[in-house]
Amino acid sequence: MAAVMVMSVGCDKESISPIIPDSPIIPDGALPGLFSVSATKQVYFSQGNLQYQASTKTWRFAEHQYDYVGSDNRSISSTYSGWIDLFGWGTGSNPTLSSTSFEDYGTFVDWGCNAISNGGNTANRWRTLTKSEWYYLFNKRTGALSKRGTGNINGVGGLIILPDSWTLPSECSFTSGFCSPSGDNYPDWTHNSYTLAQWAQMEAAGAVFLPAAGSRFGTYVANVGYSGYYWSSTSSRNFDGDAYGMNFDGDNLDAMYYHLRDDGFSVRPVQDN
């Protein structure tokens, strides 16, 4: 953005000084990149997947984008002292609900209604993307297809999303799309591989990483390291027990995925710009 020139008039001469626009203020707990989720709206992604500790009733974002709880989600309960990060649909007011009856998930309560300890610690600051916003992000924003691809960070597989405005760090590379698996090598997350140091540069440039954190049904956890499932805030019109989200594995992405609400999926909150 060009500097704005301000003219001040003295007794016998004019002086001109530039006013440099302030840099954008990145919200607490957010990553620096901006992502279009509609023709008129951009969002910041949280620094990691949402996590909850029942024993202290504490919400937080994972410390790193590549962190996830995995099989320990099977210990989900109202008294569990560990962390969970696979939630039934709309369980912002009841995060340890593990019923396997979709009828118990009839009303959506956004997880962002809660104060998130390392995300500003104020209620209603974050929200969950809608079905149409996930779809726009992956398929309709400018350069959408060139700004998504699978990969791994220090061996952790997942999906990489680049922000609207993007400059590739000089010591890194990025290839969009998916890596077709061969033989028994599935899923294949080698399409883009980063050390922790390289990923720190990618993240500083605005890149988002969604780990393939698996899913949960009751206390059974599956597909950890193989697939990523992330909820949206939109219910399905096909069946009252379904809701929309997004799903990916090593060679496919479904931005309008729908599934029974009683499954536990990851949640990656956003904050509007």
3-state secondary structure the chain: CCCEEEEEECCCCEEEEEECCCCCCCCCCECCCCEECCCCCEEEEECCCEEEECCCCEEEECCCCCCCCHHHHHHCCCCCCCCECCECCCECCCCCCCCCCHHHHCCCECHHHCCCCCCCCCCCCCECCCHHHHHHHHHCCCCHHHHEEEEEECCEEEEEECCCCCCCCCCCCCCCECCCCECCECCCCCCCEECHHHHHHHHHCCCEEEECCEEEECCEEECCCCCEEEEEEEECCCCCCEEEEEEEECCEEEEEEEEECCEEEECCCEEEC
Quote the pLDDT of residue 183. Answer: 61
* Helix, strand, or coil (residue 171): coil
CB 255 within 8 A of CB 269: no
pTM for the model stands at: 0.90
Q: Is pLDDT above 80 for 8? A: no
Residue 20 has pLDDT above 60, yes or no: no
Share of the chain above pLDDT 70, in %: 89
pLDDT tens string 67-77: 999 999 999 99
Q: Residue 21: is its pLDDT beyond 90?
A: no
Q: pLDDT per residue over 122-169, tens digit each?
A: 999 999 999 999 999 999 999 999 999 999 999 999 999 999 999 999
CA distance 34 to 41: 10
Q: Does residue 194 register a pLDDT over 60?
A: yes
Q: In the numeric block, which tokens belong to residue 260?
A: 């029974």
Is residue 57 predicted with pLDDT exceeding 60?
A: yes
pLDDT at 3: 42
